Amino acid sequence: MSSFTPTDINLHRQSSVLELVYADGSTYELTAEFLRVNSPSAEVRGHGKGQEILQTGKRQVKLINIQAVGNYAVKLVFDDGHDTGIYSWPYLQELSHNKTDLWNSYLGKLQAAGETREALPADTQVIKIQPA
């Protein structure tokens, strides 16, 4: 078993936290929101450098299912319908080790874009324009 491979993966449904336990005794907890905004899917990362799509309104997203993908990854299913990201063992470890920096970077990008972690009500339509 690779050092990247968790020995246990636990989904805490009430808090929507994914817990990763490794053979060396280390444990990491990743929230559904953190995992969702850092999804390795093309929907989030785009199809190349500079094509990333900032995820907004994901504060309340829940992780509802985990599916094994061979012996190398898991597919996470979120309650907003997102289920296309394949989270490899090395990627999950990267997220775990860099959680603080990645989170702070995400918050900075939201602020710079004038966006929020909060979801807009379903009947809200936002149209952004640039004043002349």
Contact 63, 18 (CB under 8 A): yes
Question: CATH code at 59?
Answer: 3.30.2020.30
Q: Quick check: is 131 in a domain?
A: no
Is the residue at 62 inside a domain? Answer: yes
Angle at alpha carbon of residue 100, lines to 99 and 106, rounded to 5°? 85
Q: What percent of the chain has pLDDT over 90?
A: 77
Could you tell me if residue 124 is inside a domain? no
Strand (E) or helix (H) holding 45: helix 42-45
Q: What rounded mean pLDDT belongs to the chain? A: 90
- Asked if pLDDT for residue 28 goes beyond 60, the answer is yes
Alpha-carbon distance of 120 to 132, in angstroms, equals: 27
- 38-66 pLDDT per residue, tens: 999 988 888 877 788 999 999 999 999 99
Residue 31 lies in a domain: yes
Position 125 pLDDT exceeds 60:
no
In a domain, 13, yes or no: yes
Q: pTM for the complete prediction? A: 0.87
Q: How many CB atoms lie within 10 A of CB 30?
A: 19
Residue 128, pLDDT score: 59
Print the domain residue range for 107: 8-113
Whether residue 77 is contained in a domain is answered as yes
The domain total for the chain is: 1
Question: Looking at this protein, which amino acid is placed at residue 43?
Answer: E
